Amino acid sequence: MESRSVFLADAAATAALGRRLAQRWLGLPAGERPILLLEGDLGAGKTCLVQGLAAALGISEPVTSPTFALAQHYGGGSGALVHLDLYRLELPAAADELFAQEEEEALALGALLAVEWPGRLSFVPEGAWHLELTLADPADPEAGRVAQLGGLGPPPA
């Protein structure tokens, strides 16, 4: 399992990483497409990254954080996206239940499932891609982000 860090200078670079991840996800056989787990503090760029995922999937509607709705579903020309945010679910049983429902829906739609705040779950989904976003300089939010990527397997040939 490969793990690497990527510096993201700004929101455009964060969205571009999302587009690359979605393209890689689309290149996998349907039965082997993993879930994407997104970690990072509030304002770290998770939703910006999901906007990049959506763009690569041909989704034209605005993508916003599902913090209050908990889940958003989007359809596009190249694929579908289920964006799940577990931030407000403090009980692991509640997070697990919502995750199970949205995972089933994502599988039925053939959708990429992106999960923010996966640490609320009582387990780590098997075979998931893991991405953690942190501020490059905690004292300066404009100094960019660092993305730590794991679970992606070897780079494509």
pLDDT of residue 115: 96
Q: Which one-letter DSSP state was computed for residue 61?
A: S
pTM given for the model: 0.89
pLDDT of residue 13: 95
> In this structure, are residues 133 and 141 in contact, taking their beta carbons and an 8 Å threshold?
no
pLDDT of residue 153: 58
- Torsion 26-127-151-130 (CA) sign: positive
Q: Is residue 137 part of a domain?
A: yes
Q: How many separate domains does the chain show?
A: 1
Q: Is residue 12 part of a domain?
A: yes
Q: Is residue 103 part of a domain?
A: yes
Q: Enumerate residue ranges in the chain where pLDDT < 50.
A: 1, 155-157
Cβ–Cβ contacts within 10 Å for residue 59, how many?
21
> In this structure, are residues 22 and 83 in contact, taking their beta carbons and an 8 Å threshold?
no
Q: Is residue 67 part of a domain?
A: yes
Q: Is residue 122 part of a domain?
A: yes
Range of the domain at 67: 3-150
pLDDT of residue 141: 84
Q: Could you give phi then psi for residue 116, rounded to 5 degrees?
A: -90, 145
Q: Is residue 157 part of a domain?
A: no
CATH code (residue 31): 3.40.50.300
